[in-house]
Amino acid sequence: MTQTQLKSAYGSAPLGVKPRKTVRQILKDNSGFLFILPAMLIFLVFGLYTVVYSFVLSFFRWNGFGQFSLLPPACEDPACAFVGLRNFQEFLYSNPTQSQFFWKAFENNIIIAVFVTVGTILIALPLAMALNRAVRGQSLYRTLMLLPMVTAGIAVYYSWTFIYQPNGVLNSILETIGLGSLQAKQGWLGQPNTALLALMIVMIWGAVPSAMILYLAGLQTIERELYEAAIIDGANAWHLLWRITWPLLRPITVIIVITSLNRALQEYEMVYLMTNGSPAGHTEVVGLQIFNYGFGDQRQLGMASAMSWMLFALAFIVALVNLRFFQAKED
């Protein structure tokens, strides 16, 4: 058969020859990539590029002025120089003063991460169980519980600062109910033994609503027949919680633990606005040190980048440990 006969018998293209796709067909076949292209471009420019930029910058000493490039030579300004691992060495061990402040801030981060995560779970789960059972006024209760999520962060921090002042609301309430001996005479944020605890209370107050929503969604997926069967077998409220509710909410707990730890380890805005690390560094956190090195008077962007990567490594390790721990529990 001739080529013309093959075309008429088998379509527009002869056997063994693939028809050329039009531009319209190519766009149609790859429409999924076109939909994600804007998000990919945003990620590459503002996500991946900045991560690589920060990693390269952590090996340099640079005050932020002049030009810095990822391609060699990275910088030609006299104030910018390649120092290798010296940035990491200084805040880890070689500079005694700097390393002391870093490890104190690191210790505060660990304390905050543990207490905020545990406190959030212990408060959010009972609240979610109460809201799950409430019938009258359920919508009102949920709205009140979600107020910390929808309130502007700066306004919340300044409100709590007023509460913690020497003549603030908390000291006034304690004096009114006859517990004046428990007052913080210098303010709850001004005394070394109460400042960090006061900050953690604010963090827990802000973290509870999101955790409560997750637990409430999980509770509504548990079949009522499981509770009814357990009650028939003689189970009490503690058995229902420990044998049914808690195991079935374990995947949600994993999410809450990881997000709470990540938020607590990276928190610096609240500390900056409420105490700025005072008194005497008792509320200093690594995130605040990174901010001060990057945008404060010291202006050492390389040091700030190095600290950021150390904080990332810490958060990554903590997340892996939690995942392994909960997986072992499930096995």
Annotate 24-51 with three-state secondary structure. Answer: HHHHHHCHHHHHHHHHHHHHHHHHHHHH
CA-based nearest residue to 263, from 213, 319, 309, 328: 319
The domain boundary, picked from 59, 84, 109, lies at 84
Q: Does 93 share its domain with 156?
A: yes
Q: Does 188 share its domain with 151?
A: yes
Q: What is the pLDDT of residue 17?
A: 56
Q: Does 174 share its domain with 36?
A: no
Q: Does 29 share its domain with 119?
A: no
Residue range(s) defining the domain that contains residue 272 = 87-330
Q: Does 219 share its domain with 296?
A: yes
Q: Does 243 share its domain with 310?
A: yes
Residue 37 in any domain: the answer is yes
The domain boundary, picked from 84, 102, 135, lies at 84
- Determine the Cα–Cα distance for residues 188 and 326; give it in Å rounded to an integer: 36
Residue 8 in any domain: the answer is no
Q: Does 134 share its domain with 171?
A: yes
Q: Does 114 share its domain with 39?
A: no
Structural domain count, the chain: 2
- Determine the Cα–Cα distance for residues 163 and 187; give it in Å rounded to an integer: 9
Q: Does 288 share its domain with 236?
A: yes
Q: Does 122 share its domain with 158?
A: yes
Residue 3 in any domain: the answer is no
The domain boundary, picked from 57, 84, 111, lies at 84
Tell me the three-class secondary structure of 71-135, residue by residue.
CCCCCCCCCCEECCCHHHHHHHHHCHHHHHHHHHHHHHHHHHHHHHHHHHHHHHHHHHHHHHHCC
Residue 10 in any domain: the answer is no
Residue 1 in any domain: the answer is no
Residue 277 near residue 283, CB atoms below 8 Å: yes
Which two structure tokens, joined as six digits, stand for 55?
Answer: 């990693």
Residue 108 in any domain: the answer is yes
User: For position 285, which CATH number holds?
Assistant: 1.10.3720.10
Residue 4 in any domain: the answer is no
Q: Does 235 share its domain with 174?
A: yes
Q: For the chain, 331 residues long, give each residue's pLDDT as a single digit of tens.
A: 555 554 444 455 555 556 677 777 777 777 778 888 888 888 888 888 888 989 999 999 888 887 777 777 677 777 788 899 999 999 999 999 899 999 999 999 999 999 999 999 999 999 998 888 866 767 777 777 777 777 777 888 889 999 999 999 999 999 999 888 889 989 999 999 999 999 999 999 989 999 999 999 999 899 889 888 999 988 888 989 888 999 999 889 988 988 888 888 888 889 999 999 988 889 999 999 999 998 887 789 999 999 999 998 988 888 888 778 777 666 5
With residues binned 3-state (H G I as helix, E B as strand, rest as coil), the percentages for the chain, rounded to 5, are: 70, 0, 30
Residue 145 near residue 127, CB atoms below 8 Å: yes
Q: Does 61 share its domain with 96?
A: no
Find all residues with CB under 8 Å of 249, minimum gap 6, and list them: 125, 215, 218, 219
